[in-house]
Copies of this chain bind each other. A is one copy, B any other.
């Protein structure tokens, strides 16, 4: 190989590695924006983070495509917590903290997986007249995301959002004395107008019952050490 060819090969390699880091940042931006949009009930913005054929796994049910995802976020959550309104509502808190990202981009840079932790702080202040039915006046929730992302025409989007509720807590009593008010889905859409399109097939009982949510990636030390020994 000539020196010029070698330089071209090296440039292509560097560009690919650099592109992977740019992908990581693009995906963090998408997921962190997901949280910021939900803070203020910007559910159209949430919806637009998803690919057309994306799916959301929530409470052991799958919401399919933009129609299904809209049913979950707009018809159910936005309606329940904010009467379908967009934007900040006085006395209403719905902070969606997103953090602890571990993102793995596929070698061809066309898909990626990402694990995140979410912590939710929510409630209705005493001044607020509207109160979501069946929800504590002030509550906390924690969950793990194991999501898939896809690059469509060069733009990263969420392909599959899998949110696994870890625990819920009525603020006043705490997680040790709260049973999750969210339970696995029982009835599909359209029989349940807010139900999922199909079941995952594995019904995950919610807090205080627990299921392990395995990480999507190989052990960051052992896997590489073994690969090195094998290689």
Interface of A is mostly: mixed
- Of all chain B residues, the one with the shortest Cβ separation from A158 is B221
With A7-B4, A25-B21, A48-B219 as given contacts, are A224 and B155 in contact (CB-CB < 8 Å)? yes
**Minimal beta-carbon separation of A110 from chain B (angstroms):** 16
A167 interfacial by beta-carbon distance below 8 Å: yes
Contact assessment for A221 and B156 in the assembled complex, using a CB-CB cutoff below 8 Å: yes
With A88-B212, A157-B221 as given contacts, are A176 and B18 in contact (CB-CB < 8 Å)? no
What CA separation (Å) do A137 and B174 show in the bound complex?
Answer: 10
Contact assessment for B48 and A176 in the assembled complex, using a CB-CB cutoff below 8 Å: no
Contact assessment for A97 and B126 in the assembled complex, using a CB-CB cutoff below 8 Å: no
Q: Which of A61-69, A98-106, A190-198 contacts B (4 or more CB under 8 A)?
A: A98-106
Residues of chain B with a CB closer than 8 A to A8's CB: 3, 7
A166 interfacial by beta-carbon distance below 8 Å: yes
- Of all chain B residues, the one with the shortest Cβ separation from A222 is B48
A residues adjacent to B (C-beta < 8 A): 3-4, 7-8, 10-11, 14-15, 17-18, 21-22, 24-26, 28-30, 32-33, 35-37, 39-40, 45, 48-49, 87-93, 95, 97-102, 115, 117, 119, 121, 123-128, 137-138, 142, 144, 153-157, 166-167, 171-172, 174-177, 207-213, 215, 217, 219-222, 224-225, 228
